Amino acid sequence: MIGAWKLGPALAAGNSVVLKPSETAALSLLRMAELALEAGVPPGVLNVVTGEGKVVGEALSHSMDVDVVVFTGSGATGRRLLQASAASNMKRCYLELGGKSANVVFADARNLTEAAAVSAAGIFRNSGQVCVAGSRLLVERAIHDDFVAELANAAKSMRVGDPLDLTTQAGAINNAAQLAQNLSFVETAQAEGGTLYQGGHRIHADTGGYFMEPTIITDVAADHSIAQKEVFGPVLAVTAFEDEDDAIRLANSTDYGLAGGVWTSDLSRAHRMVREMHTGVVHVNTYGGPDVTVPMGGVKQSGNGHDKSLHALDKFTDLKTAWIKL
């Protein structure tokens, strides 16, 4: 899906493309390249090269023949791409990096049951491996306990297992190292003062798959690691807030600015929160509304440039001015 976000506008703008997928998730893009050849895309226009980032990614990012690099992934890799650009041909780099998105629930939200169910899906679907996942839940203190209990019930009802089973709602963690890192985040969160409210363990180990149960950590302070660092797993950090100003302060207290959510029945408050939250995407009374017609991108250390919509074409075109004397 993310490869397609880059590929569509790049080809539409008339470019040839080299796609470098993750070494742990290459098969779908290889198949896409096969289908492109069958559909009549000329050989050499769409290319897929596989391998480790430290080999293939390094070669591409330092290549003098590559004009633009677009990347979705970690901030650490994004910085290396910027360094490679400076060391080579000053190629443009557009980076869609991490997020630690705040999902803010006010006591005046119209339907707290719906908010709890959607908020659970907003972090636990795809086992939290979504860049815009609502991985921080900020709840007004007056409803904190009741709302967290309702959200926990929604999380418990989610079916985690074989992604090829259509009844499954959350699949596996991408690889063993990622699962170990997720579990380590849970341990660190508790050591820093957070409370393990639910989950926190590996499940279905007998299948050989890397599955983790939906996990909720409460009593999270703004400076805790679990509130500042992207886990990229099914781990939700919950913090209580006092009022709207406190919610805005907490929502903007990370280095990231990719997405966020607001639940309220007050339209003016919704507009204020959309304006004050320093993110590229804000959901109001929903979470995770995707559509290819609108741009998606981040601010701060969540990156630059936009995927999807006509704005995505901007990355793959150069402006040229011509002065002609008549």
Give me the mean pLDDT over the 50-78 stretch.
96
Task: Examine the domain organization and report whether 137 and 230 are in the same domain.
Answer: yes
What is the pLDDT at residue 203?
97
- Do residues 76 and 196 share a domain? no
| 235-241: strand order across its sheet | 195-198, 215-218, 235-241, 136-140, 102-105, 260-263, 283-284
pLDDT band at 290 (very low <50, low <70, confident <90, very high): confident
CA–CA distance, 83 with 196 (Å, rounded to integer): 39
- Is residue 196 in a domain? yes
What integer pLDDT is reported at residue 93 of this predicted model? 97
The CATH number assigned to the domain holding 215 equals: 3.40.309.10
pLDDT digits (tens, 9 = 90+) for 105-164: 999 999 999 999 999 999 999 999 999 999 999 999 999 999 999 999 999 999 999 989
Using CB atoms within 10 Å of the CB of residue 14, give its burial: 0 to 12 exposed, 13 to 18 middle, 19+ buried. Answer: exposed
Q: Are residues 181 and 38 in the same domain?
A: no
Output the CA torsion 28→34→35→41 (10° steps): 130
Identify whether residues 179 and 247 lie together within a single domain: yes
- DSSP state at residue 313: G
Please indicate, yes or no, whether residues 137 and 275 belong to a single structural domain of this protein. Answer: yes
**Active-site pick, 38, 114, 131, 276:** 131
Is there a single domain that holds both residue 109 and residue 257?
A: yes
Question: Is the CB of residue 134 less than 8 Å from the CB of residue 154?
Answer: no
Placement of tokens 């890397």 in the chain:
210
Instruction: Identify the residue whose tokens are 């290319």.
Output: 47
Mean pLDDT across the chain, nearest whole number?
96
CA atoms of 167 and 145, how far apart (whole Å): 30
In a domain, residue 326? The reply is no
In this predicted structure, what is the pLDDT of residue 249?
98
In whole angstroms, what is the distance from residue 245 CA to residue 106 CA?
Answer: 12
pLDDT band at 256 (very low <50, low <70, confident <90, very high): very high
Examine the pLDDT at 291 and tell me if it is beyond 90: no
Q: 275 with 310, same domain? A: no
In a domain, 174, yes or no: yes
pLDDT in tens, 207-255: 999 999 999 999 999 999 999 999 999 999 999 999 999 999 999 999 9
Q: Where are the beta strands (DSSP E) in 107-234?
A: 136-140, 195-198, 202-203, 211-212, 215-218
- Per DSSP, the three-state class of 62 is helix
Taking every pair of C-alpha atoms in the chain, what is the biggest distance, in angstroms? 78
Q: Report pTM.
A: 0.94
The SS3 assignment for 58 reads helix
Sign of dihedral through CA atoms 149, 180, 257, 189? positive
Positive or negative: CA dihedral 13, 14, 19, 25: positive
Q: How many CB atoms lie within 10 A of CB 243?
A: 11
Residues 268 and 125 in one domain: yes
Residue 218 maps to a domain:
yes
Helix pair angle (2-12, 27-39), 10° resolution: 30
Pair 125, 87 in one domain: no
Task: Report the DSSP pairing between strands 46-48 and 17-19.
Answer: parallel
Q: Examine residue 321 and state whether it is found in any structural domain, yes or no.
A: no
Active site residue 93: no
| pLDDT band of 310, cuts 50, 70, 90 | very high
Q: Are 78 and 184 within one domain?
A: no
Q: Does residue 290 form part of some domain? A: no
Percentage of the chain lying above the pLDDT 70 cut: 100
Distance CA 263, CA 52 (A): 41
Are 41 and 165 in the same domain? no
54: its two tokens: 């430290």
Question: How far apart are alpha carbons 104 and 122 in whole angstroms?
Answer: 12
Residues paired with residue 72 on neighbouring β-strands, in sequence order = 96
Which tens digits make up the pLDDT trace of 261-272?
999 999 999 999
Which residue bears the tokens 């690889």?
A: 175
Q: Which of 96, 140, 213, 230 is catalytic?
A: 96
Residues of the domain holding 110 = 102-284
| The total number of structural domains that make up the chain | 2
| CATH (domain of 34) | 3.40.605.10
Give mean pLDDT, residues 1-30: 94
Q: What is the pLDDT of residue 288?
A: 86
In a domain? residue 293: no
Residue 50: Cβ within 10 Å count: 14
